């Protein structure tokens, strides 16, 4: 399911991008095979990088061809995208339609934001979307896929969940690893209150959580160490940032501790749940990282890369003091 989910949400976000491009007059502007340079739009857009990222996604589908910083009209620039209705039906069937609705919601504000007519959307105002996405069947499946890649011999005794949502990854870990001690840490101010609500609602006896740093819970696992650290961040939420995540991870790790990071990459626009150009409309999502940036940060904190998924969504590393 995972590959298909990302493909269909990318198709639908490309339809949104295509509509914005045409509404902005790009179709009329490009009636002849001429260069469409991003600079041509600088006069209109204060945040031109957002518009450029949108064009980059369209270029992935052959709507435009990208040559350096210039987008050139493709010979078959009206190439039909895969059917929109098929993709909508797929998302509905797999409990992921809210992802498309989230894209549509963000798209309403895109032009106002890039023209500097309004501020980015506060993450706290998007809790409804985050809750319905984070707790959905589709994200449950993505977490299950990631967990299945860990290849543990036996059961990990202690697991730290560095949470980027409303707590559902902690609940799922507590359900999968019923004989393990699960610790969940939420450091994003905008999400702390709903995170606590979710944790309390499920009442998992093997789960302890904290919204404080430092905290008694964290101090205890720094002392005792953990066997697994789970960082599930498919929406690309930027708080806590990668440096802080890895700093905390290194403090609670011992030789052989596994770290799983699940996050979007900037150079793979067809493998993201929230297209980067729409995610950047949110005050709480920064530019996505690329693999080289992630690998350098892992090395800095003594994590050695052992596995990278072919679709570049999850990375598994282990901690080594040597």
- Are 82 and 151 in the same domain? no
102 and 142 belong to one structural domain: no
Q: How far, in Å, CA of 101 to CA of 9, rounded?
A: 10
Residue-wise pLDDT tens digits, 142-186: 999 888 888 777 889 999 999 999 999 999 999 999 999 999 999
* pLDDT tens-digit series, residues 83-100: 999 999 999 999 999 999
Q: Do 183 and 305 have their domain in common?
A: yes
> Looking at the domain assignment, is residue 126 inside a domain?
no
Question: Does 137 lie in the same domain as 111?
Answer: no
Last residue of a domain, one of 119, 146, 172: 119
CATH number, position 266: 3.40.50.150
**In 10 A of CB 217, how many CB atoms?**
16
This prediction's pTM: 0.92
pLDDT digits (tens, 9 = 90+) for 225-260: 999 999 999 999 999 999 999 999 999 999 999 999
Same-domain status, 103 and 212: no
Angle of the 84-93 helix axis to the 97-114 helix axis, nearest 10: 120
Return d(Cα 271, Cα 308) in angstroms, integer: 14
Q: Can you tell me the distance from the alpha carbon of 201 to that of 3, in angstroms, rounded to the nearest whole number?
A: 32
Radius of gyration of the chain (CA): 21
Q: Are residues 154 and 294 in the same domain?
A: yes
């Amino acid at each position: 399911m995972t590959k298909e989910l990302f493909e269909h949400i990318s198709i639908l976000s490309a339809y949104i991008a295509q509509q914005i491009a045409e509404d902005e007059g790009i179709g009329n502007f490009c009636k002849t095979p001429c260069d469409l340079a991003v600079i041509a739009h600088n006069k209109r857009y204060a945040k031109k990088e957002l518009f450029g990222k949108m064009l980059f996604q369209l270029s992935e589908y052959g709507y435009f061809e990208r040559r350096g910083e210039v987008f050139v009209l493709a010979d078959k620039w009206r190439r039909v995208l895969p059917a929109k209705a098929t993709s909508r039906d797929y998302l509905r069937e797999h409990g992921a339609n809210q992802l498309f609705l989230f894209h549509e919601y963000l798209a309403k504000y895109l032009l106002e934001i890039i023209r500097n007519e309004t501020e980015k959307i506060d993450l706290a105002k998007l809790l409804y979307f985050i809750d319905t996405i984070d707790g959905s069947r589709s994200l449950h499946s993505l977490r299950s896929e990631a967990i299945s890649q860990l290849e543990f011999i036996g059961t990990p005794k202690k697991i730290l969940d560095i949470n980027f949502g409303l707590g559902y990854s902690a609940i799922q870990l507590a359900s999968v690893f019923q004989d393990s001690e699960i610790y969940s840490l939420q450091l994003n101010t905008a999400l702390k209150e709903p995170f606590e609500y979710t944790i309390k609602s499920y009442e998992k006896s093997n789960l302890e959580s904290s919204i404080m740093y430092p905290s008694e819970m964290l101090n205890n696992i720094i002392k005792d160490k953990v066997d697994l650290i789970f960082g599930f961040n498919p929406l690309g939420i930027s708080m806590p940032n990668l440096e802080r995540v890895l700093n905390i991870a290194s403090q609670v790790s011992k030789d052989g501790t596994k770290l799983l990071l699940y996050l979007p990459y900037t150079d793979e626009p067809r493998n993201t749940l929230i297209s980067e150009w729409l995610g950047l409309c949110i005050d709480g999502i920064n530019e996505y990282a690329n693999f080289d940036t992630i690998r350098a940060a892992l090395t800095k904190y003594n994590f050695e890369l052992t596995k990278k998924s072919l679709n570049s969504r999850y990375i598994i590393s282990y901690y080594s003091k040597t």
